[in-house]
Amino acid sequence: MLFLQDKDKETLINFLKENLSREVSLKFFTQELECETCQSVRSLLEEIVALSPLLHLEIYNFLLDKDKVDLYDIDKIPAIVVEEEKDYGIRFYGIPAGYEFSGFIETLVWVSRGETDLRKESKDFLSSLTREVDIQTFVTVTCPYCPQAVVLGHKMAIEGEKVRSAMIEVEEFPHLAYRYGVRAVPKIVINERVSFEGAVPEEYFLTKIIEAVS
């Protein structure tokens, strides 16, 4: 199954050539059984990495490659780790298709640069954190506002040593949607205790992180 049309590939090739700064590694965790979307995610990732020599894909079996599963703290599949030389704690759980595709591509660019366009005040605050911050952003592939929320969380993970950020596609993980009471997307949950909905501004997002660690 092909996800990208030829005209889209040409556009992406040029975009990645102009915007990727350093090599980016995608670690994909999958298994053949009991994972309906794993093959689709693998196909999509293979198409993407073929567009740039700076993109690399490594594939791991969720059941057999326990050392890698433990190293990257993967607890569900399909799972994608996006890292440069450093693991920023950025994860995608579920297929980054539909509207989420643009957020996935943008994340590749920010990871390749190793820094973001967040405000200096935000960067200073995130880099000074002494407590762990776990951001879960629940999305659907049909939500046009979700990529903005996902990418903002990922930017914060790039800037904050203590910050982890994950996209979770709710239709692939309905038990998590039920657990966290996801009735609208994007829904962001921080440290299991603070949650809010919507693609909010950077400043508001930071106030919720402060609330979660206070």
SS (H, E, C) 3-52: CCCHHHHHHHHHHHHHHCCCCEEEEEEECCCCCCCHHHHHHHHHHHHCCC
Work out the burial of residue 115: count CB atoms within 10 Å of its CB; fewer than 13 is exposed, 13-18 middle, 19 or more buried. Answer: exposed
pLDDT at 2: 74
pLDDT at 51: 97
Measure the CA–CA gap between 156 and 61, rounded to whole angstroms: 29
Q: What is the DSSP letter of 146?
A: H
Measure the CA–CA gap between 76 and 90, rounded to whole angstroms: 14
pLDDT at 1: 61
**Residue 103 in tokens:** 């957020």
pLDDT at 34: 84
Question: Mean pLDDT, 10 residues at a time, over the chain (214 residues)?
Answer: 86 98 98 91 97 98 97 98 97 97 98 98 97 98 98 98 98 97 98 97 98 96
pLDDT at 17: 98
Measure the CA–CA gap between 30 and 62, rounded to whole angstroms: 5
